[in-house]
Amino acid sequence: MNRKLTLLLDETIINQAKEYAKKQNDTLSGIVEKYFTFITTKNSKVSSINTSREIEKLSGIIHIPAGFDTKEAYRKYRSERVLNE
């Protein structure tokens, strides 16, 4: 059963969230519901929350050149690692 919830937020944040929802082909209500579900699940997800925050901190640190083949680079790394063990 759906129920109405009123939130008071900064207008800039609301506009940014609406844009994000639009890019995700979702609604703002849908994103808020998913977030609330995420943060209210059992403790088994606590490590995922911490990991997500750590990943967010790293976001944008590395700049990958256009056309860089990440799969090929990973294969090369793995094969060199095996050879050096």
pLDDT at 47: 54
Q: What is the largest CA-CA distance in the chain?
A: 60
Angle at 27 between CA 26 and CA 32, to 5 degrees: 105
For the stretch 13-33, pLDDT in tens is 999 999 988 988 999 999 898
Find the mean pLDDT for residues 28-46: 77
Does residue 39 register a pLDDT over 70?
yes
HSE toward the beta carbon, residue 12, CA cutoff 13 A: 0
